[in-house]
Every structure is written in structure tokens, then in C-alpha cells.
Amino acid sequence: MSAFDEHRRLADPIVVVGGGFGGLAAAYEIAKSGRKVTVIEKEPLVGGLASGFQVGEHTLERFYHHWFTNDVHIMDLIKDIGQSDKVVFRPTRTGLYYANTIFRLSSPMDLLKFSALSFIDRIRLGLLVLQVRRIKDWRSIEHLTAREWLISLAGPEVFRVVWEPLLVGKFGPYAEKVGAVWFWKKLALRGGSRAKQGKEMLAYYRGGFAELAESLRERVEGLGGEVRLNTAVTGLEIADGRCAAVRTDSGTIPASAVLLTQALPQIADLLEPHASSEYVESLRRIEYLANICLVLELDRSLSETYWLNVNDPSFPFVGVIEHTNFEPPSSYGGRHIVYLSRYLPESDPLYRMPDDQVLDFAVPHLQRMFPDFRREWVSAHHVWRARYSQPIAEPHYSRLIPPERTPVENVFVTSMAQIYPEDRGTNYAVREGRRIGRELAAHAAAAANDADMQRATPLAGRAEIVGDAAE
Ligand SMILES: Cc1cc2nc3c(=O)[nH]c(=O)nc-3n(C[C@H](O)[C@H](O)[C@H](O)COP(=O)(O)OP(=O)(O)OC[C@H]3O[C@@H](n4cnc5c(N)ncnc54)[C@H](O)[C@@H]3O)c2cc1C
């Protein structure tokens, strides 16, 4: 490629595929550096898994969302865009449903009163939290499954009552496969999100995560970037081992570089025609669970608990999250909002159940848990599904994570399944998105500099020759 062509190519935007928090954070950094960036999002709105929908005049997440107090990367970004005053921190009430009883589990004191376990086992459960904090290097437990590790720390009874139902509830057929590192990091991060008295504190964004995503979109556009909604990327145009453009369902967009932020199997589909079968298989190797959330708008509260873990295998949802015990009902026109969440394989009948049947299916189970509950309390309901919602971090997961670089020179990947040893979350999507966004911008600036030099050198040489001849 000539220096002129190279220069022209570098003037094309860096294309970011996906307008979730990872893609928006990357685009923000690229736009801030002064380089052209175009975000392409197939949905009619930004935010990805953390996007929202309308509840009356208010916006609510499709899937429940909050932050921990140690989610510093998202807080940094919010500060950077001048929105810190919208973040609220509140204590939350956590509980556990076991043997038809709701136990409160928000503080160390609640733990001591947890009568589902013998006193000795309550102490073991409490000590486990301290043992978790002592692990500094996750590699030392990466060969273990969560089951092996938890039993070794607190014994089989604590595992049977507390952890096994949660593992099975969250991971279903994959429960035995989950690695110790996933569980360790979850416990460490959630355990670290506490106020001084040991009570759990969580954070939320006034107006919802969707509003934050919208602010980010506006910021990217304000810095000269472009965000195209309702546009699905359908292919990559590759020439000489580089991606020259992305194909979409509404035309082709030239690209100087491409950042793919979707789930790995979706990235595999785009790269399949241009990469070896071994590489494409490596992208398909990590398995993902889907998620279904039934969101209820109620005319009254269900309980006082925000986050209820369900340790009862006969209850078909693993979490009952009464969002309005965290963000008040006044934010939703007086409505009480409850999410019933279940992670499940895509083939599960509940995932495929028509929306209007999901409520019928859930009501008798809710009545068993909350005997006063009546279907008439439900003024509206919504069903949301996400096919790629939770990667399965099995033992030795670090060996499965694909690198950011792909076989195509200027195509890069930053995806939820690469977050490790932490579990996926908007905080980490933003951390990784901003980092790779800065790197791509710096790389583009250096390449543009090189191209400028190359272009300038032959011209300078010619001027000298002309000058010599004139003399
Ligand atoms: C049930 C549930 C609860 C959660 N709770 C929390 C929580 O409490 N706190 C928290 O921080 N995180 C939570 N998360 C995780 C969080 O939502 C994700 O980690 C984060 O949003 C991932 O952002 P991302 O940008 O990496 O991916 P995504 O949000 O998946 O973004 C990828 C984007 O790519 C788009 N896309 C895909 N294919 C194409 C294509 N061909 N062309 C164009 N666009 C395309 C998608 O539409 C999507 O918008 C939760 C997730 C789930 C499922």
C-alpha cells in the first residue's frame, strides 16, 4: 500500500461493534483522543445487557443491576463525564430462602442467627469469609472446582445448605463445572461491598443504568464520534490480512481498525470466513448460560428484602430481587418492582416459554414463598431474555480466554468472557473498554505519524532535487 493510500485508510474511523458499556467506554476514549470513531449497535438503544425499558414514564433495567462499593472503574468514568452526583449508595437487605423460611443475611450478626446450620457450621461459614480474604493469588486455586474448594474450607454441610443450591440455581447443569476462582472472586468482591458495621452497601444510578449509557452516547457524539443504532454488523471486508470495512444490514462502513465487543460465539461468526478453524473453535470453546428475567410491577411490596437468594431447588428462579427495596417506588410512579431471575441453558423450556405463560408459571411458586401474595397485585409484567448472559468460568479458565488480538491484523476483541478473575459486570466492561480504547487511539496516532513521515520524505527529497536543478 502506498503512503498516500495508507494515510487515507488511517483517516477512516475506528469501528466499535456493540453499544454496551464496553463498546461505549472504548468509543469514549477514542473520541477523547481526537480520532474518528463509529459505534454500531444492532438494538434501537445503547446499554447492551444493562439497557432499559419504559415503566410508565420511567426507565428500568431489563435485568436487575447495581454496583458494589468497590466498583471503582465505573465510578471513575461517571466522574469523568461529570455525573457523580447521580450515584447513590444505600444499605441493602439480603436474605436466603431455605426450607420454606426467609432468613436475613445482611450482616455478621444475621449469620450467627442462621438456624438452618448448626452453631459450629455457622462459625465455619463466618470463617470462610476470612479465609477468602487471605487468598492473594487466584492461581493457587485455579485447578479446583468451586465445589471442591468450598467443601475443603467449610465442610460438606455448609456446602449442602448454603452453596450447593446457589451453584445449582445459578449454573444448573454446569454447577459441577464452575471453577473455584469464580466463586472466590464473587465472595471477595461482594464481601468487600460493606459499610463499617459490616452491612452490605450497594450503589445505583439515579434514572437507571440506561440513562448512564445514554449520557455516554451523548458524550461520544459530543466529542465528534458517531453512534449508529438499529444497525447490525453482518460481516467484515478483509483485504491483505486487514479489515478495510464492516458490512452492515444497511451498507458498508470503512474502518481503519475494528473492535468487537459482542459475545465470543457472535464474534466467531464474523471471523469464521477469515480465520483458521482452530482459532474459530477457540472462540466457541467457552460456554454461556442464558438468562430470563420476569419483571413484575406490583401495587404493593412483596417483602422487606432487596436481594433474596433462593436455596430451594423446587423454586424455578434463583433470585427474587425487589428492586424498589433499593431504589424507592417513588422513582417508578409508586410502582413496586420485583425481578424473578433464572440463568439457564438456551434449550430450557422456561427460556422458550411464551411471555404470557411465564407469569402463570411463576404465580403459584411466588404464593408458596409469600403466602399473602395475590395475582391481582400484578399491574403489569415484562419478560426479558439474554442468550449470552453468563460465561462458565471452569477450572483453568485463564487458558481458555482468547487474546485481544485476532488473526486479522487490525481487528480486536474485548468481550465479557475475557473478564477474569472477576466475573462480568459493567464495572469491568468499562475498565477493559477504556483501556483498549486508549491503546487503539494511541496505535492509530502512531500509525498516522509514520504515514505522515513516509509521505513527507519522498516529497522533501523531490524538492531538494528540483532545488538543485534550479541552481
Ligand atoms: C441478569 C443479569 C444481571 C446483571 N447484573 C449486573 C449488575 O448488577 N451489575 C453489573 O455491573 N453488571 C451486571 N450484569 C452484567 C452486565 O450487564 C454486563 O457485564 C455488561 O453490561 C456487559 O457489557 P458489554 O459491553 O461487555 O456487553 P453487552 O452489554 O452484551 O454489549 C454488547 C452489544 O453488542 C451488540 N451487538 C451484538 N451483536 C451485534 C452485531 N452483529 N452488530 C451490532 N451490534 C451487536 C448487542 O446488542 C449489545 O448491545 C448483569 C447481567 C445479567 C445478564
Angle at 375 between CA 370 and CA 378, to 5 degrees: 100
CA–CA distance, 53 with 46 (Å, rounded to integer): 11
Residue 6 is predicted with a pLDDT of: 66
Beta strands in 22-179 (DSSP E): 37-40, 52-55, 58-61, 67-68, 87-91, 94-98, 101-104
CA–CA distance, 86 with 83 (Å, rounded to integer): 6
- The position carrying cell 480474604 is 133
What angle in degrees, to the nearest 10, is found between the helix axes of 119-134 and 146-158? 160
pLDDT at 180 over 50: yes
Distance 118 CA to ligand 1 centre (A): 40
Percent with pLDDT over 70 in the chain: 93
pLDDT at 466 over 50: no
Confidence category of residue 2, pLDDT binned at 50, 70, 90: low
Confidence category of residue 464, pLDDT binned at 50, 70, 90: very low
Distance 76 CA to ligand 1 centre (A): 19
> How high does pLDDT run on average in the chain?
92
CA–CA distance, 58 with 320 (Å, rounded to integer): 21
Distance 405 CA to ligand 1 centre (A): 21
Q: Kindly list the distances between the CA atom of residue 393 and the CA atoms of 143, 175, 423, 454, in Å, as whole numbers in the listed order.
A: 12, 11, 8, 47
Q: Which atom of ligand 1 is nearest to the CA of 22?
A: 25
Residue 4 is predicted with a pLDDT of: 62
What are the DSSP calls for 354-417, one per residue?
-HHHHHHHHHHHHHHHSTT--GGGEEEEEEEEEEEEEE---TTGGGTPPPSB-SSTTEEE--GG
Question: Which of 194 and 310 is assigned the larger pLDDT?
Answer: 310
**What length is written for the chain?**
471
pLDDT tens digits, residue range 48-86?
999 999 999 999 999 999 999 999 999 999 999 999 999
Percent with pLDDT over 90 in the chain: 78
Nearest CA to ligand 1 atom 12: 425
pTM: 0.93
CA–CA distance, 215 with 24 (Å, rounded to integer): 10
Q: Is the Cβ–Cβ distance between 285 and 400 less than 8 Å?
A: yes
Q: Is the Cβ–Cβ distance between 237 and 246 less than 8 Å?
A: yes
CA–CA distance, 103 with 115 (Å, rounded to integer): 9
pLDDT at 462 over 60: no
Pocket, ligand 1, Cβ cutoff 6 A: 17-23, 40-43, 48-50, 63-67, 232-233, 261-262, 266, 291, 293, 341, 386, 389, 416, 424-427, 429
Q: Is 59 exposed, middle or buried (0-12, 13-18, 19+ CB in 10 A)?
A: buried
CA–CA distance, 248 with 102 (Å, rounded to integer): 50
Beta-carbon contacts of 131 under 8 Å, excluding residues fewer than 6 positions away, are 153
CA–CA distance, 106 with 145 (Å, rounded to integer): 27
pLDDT at 463 over 60: no
- What is the SS3 assignment for 405-436? ECCCCCEEECCHHHCCCCCCCHHHHHHHHHHH
Nearest CA to ligand 1 atom 7: 65
**Best substitution site from 24, 49, 61 to test ligand 1's pocket, by max atoms within 8 Å of Cβ?**
49
CA–CA distance, 131 with 102 (Å, rounded to integer): 27
Residue 243 is predicted with a pLDDT of: 97
Distance 431 CA to ligand 1 centre (A): 14
Distance 214 CA to ligand 1 centre (A): 14
pLDDT tens digits, residue range 362-417?
999 999 999 999 999 999 999 999 999 999 999 999 999 999 999 999 999 999 99
Q: Is the Cβ–Cβ distance between 178 and 391 less than 8 Å?
A: no
Q: Is the Cβ–Cβ distance between 96 and 312 less than 8 Å?
A: no
Question: Which of 470 and 301 is assigned the larger pLDDT?
Answer: 301
pLDDT tens digits, residue range 91-150?
999 888 887 888 887 777 888 888 889 999 999 988 887 888 889 899 999 999 999 999
Other C-beta atoms closer than 10 Å to the C-beta of 471 total 4
Angle at 337 between CA 335 and CA 342, to 5 degrees: 160
Q: Which atom of ligand 1 is nearest to the CA of 18?
A: 34
CA–CA distance, 143 with 227 (Å, rounded to integer): 42
Nearest CA to ligand 1 atom 38: 262
pLDDT tens digits, residue range 246-281?
999 999 999 999 999 999 999 999 999 999 999 999
Nearest CA to ligand 1 atom 53: 389
pLDDT at 470 over 50: no
DSSP-based three-state secondary structure for 244: strand
The closest alpha carbon to 191, from 136, 148, 130, 149, belongs to 130
Residue 218 is predicted with a pLDDT of: 98
Nearest CA to ligand 1 atom 6: 65
CA–CA distance, 414 with 402 (Å, rounded to integer): 10
First to last CA, the chain: 35
Q: How far is CA 297 from the centre of its chain?
A: 25
The closest alpha carbon to 247, from 232, 262, 230, 269, belongs to 232
The closest alpha carbon to 173, from 353, 385, 383, 346, belongs to 346
Q: How far is CA 356 from the centre of its chain?
A: 28
Distance 64 CA to ligand 1 centre (A): 12
Nearest CA to ligand 1 atom 27: 20
DSSP-based three-state secondary structure for 332: helix
Beta-sheet pairing, 37-40 with 226-228: parallel
Q: Mean pLDDT, to the nearest integer, of 197-224?
A: 94
Distance 137 CA to ligand 1 centre (A): 28
Nearest CA to ligand 1 atom 33: 18
Distance 49 CA to ligand 1 centre (A): 3
Distance 19 CA to ligand 1 centre (A): 9
Residue 190 is predicted with a pLDDT of: 72
pLDDT tens digits, residue range 430-442?
999 999 999 999 9
CA–CA distance, 407 with 321 (Å, rounded to integer): 42
Residue 428 is predicted with a pLDDT of: 98
